[in-house]
Amino acid sequence: MKLPLSVALCVLSLSACAQTAPPDAKAKAADQPTAAGETKTAAAGETKAPAAPVPNTPEGRARAALQGLDPTIQIDRMSAAPIPGFREAIVGGQVLYVSDDGKYLLQGSLFDMQQKRDLSQTGISVLRRDELAKIPQKDKIVFAPVGKAKHTVNVFTDIECGYCRKLHQDIAEYNRLGIAIEYLAFPRAGTASQDFRDMESVWCSADRRKALTDAKGGQTVAPKTCTNPVNMQYQIGQKIGLQGTPMVVTREGIALPGYLPPAAMLQTLDRLEEQAKGGGDAKAAGAP
Candidate ranges 7-11, 89-93, 108-112, 124-128; pick with highest mean pLDDT:
124-128
| DSSP-assigned letters across all residues of 27-93 | HHHHEEE-TTS-EEETTTTEEEPPPPPPPSSHHHHHHHHHHHH-TT--EEEEEE-SSTTEEEEEETT
Confidence category of residue 5, pLDDT binned at 50, 70, 90: very low
Which residue of the set 17, 61, 188, 198 is catalytic? 188
Report the pLDDT averaged over residues 171-199: 97
pLDDT-above-90 percentage for the chain = 61
| 144 within 8 A of 180, measured Cβ to Cβ | yes
Q: Would the pLDDT of 9 be above 70?
A: no
Which residue of the set 161, 207, 208, 214 is catalytic? 161
Strand partners, 269: none
Which residue of the set 76, 100, 118, 158 is catalytic? 158
pLDDT value, residue 50: 56
Report the pLDDT averaged over residues 52-62: 82
Tally Cβ neighbours within 10 Å of residue 263.
Answer: 12
Confidence category of residue 121, pLDDT binned at 50, 70, 90: confident
158 is catalytic: yes
Lowest mean pLDDT among 108-122, 129-143, 216-230: 108-122
Lowest mean pLDDT among 107-116, 136-145, 258-267: 107-116
Q: Same CATH topology for 5-108 and 134-284? A: no
Residue of higher predicted confidence among 202 and 2: 202
161 is catalytic: yes
Candidate ranges 38-52, 62-76, 203-217, 232-246; pick with highest mean pLDDT:
203-217
pTM confidence score: 0.74
| 213 within 8 A of 184, measured Cβ to Cβ | no
188 is catalytic: yes
Confidence category of residue 277, pLDDT binned at 50, 70, 90: confident
Q: Please give the mean pLDDT across all residues of the chain.
A: 83
Which residue of the set 76, 164, 195, 198 is catalytic? 164
Residue of higher predicted confidence among 14 and 275: 275
The contacts of residue 82 (CB under 8 Å, 6+ apart) are: 88, 110, 112, 119, 122
Specify the amino acid at residue 153: V
pLDDT-above-70 percentage for the chain = 78
| DSSP-assigned letters across all residues of 204-246 | TSSSHHHHHHHHHTTPPPPP---S-SHHHHHHHHHHTT--SSS
Alpha carbon of residue 157 to chain centroid: 15
Question: Which CATH number is 134-284's, of 3.40.30.10, 2.60.40.10, 3.40.50.150, 3.40.50.920?
Answer: 3.40.30.10
Specify the amino acid at residue 90: I
Report the pLDDT averaged over residues 78-95: 91
101 is catalytic: no
Question: Which CATH number is 5-108's, of 3.60.15.10, 3.40.50.300, 3.10.450.70, 3.30.413.10?
Answer: 3.10.450.70
| 142 within 8 A of 155, measured Cβ to Cβ | no
pLDDT value, residue 47: 56
Report the pLDDT averaged over residues 190-198: 96
Q: Domain coordinates of the chain in residue numbers?
A: 5-108, 134-284
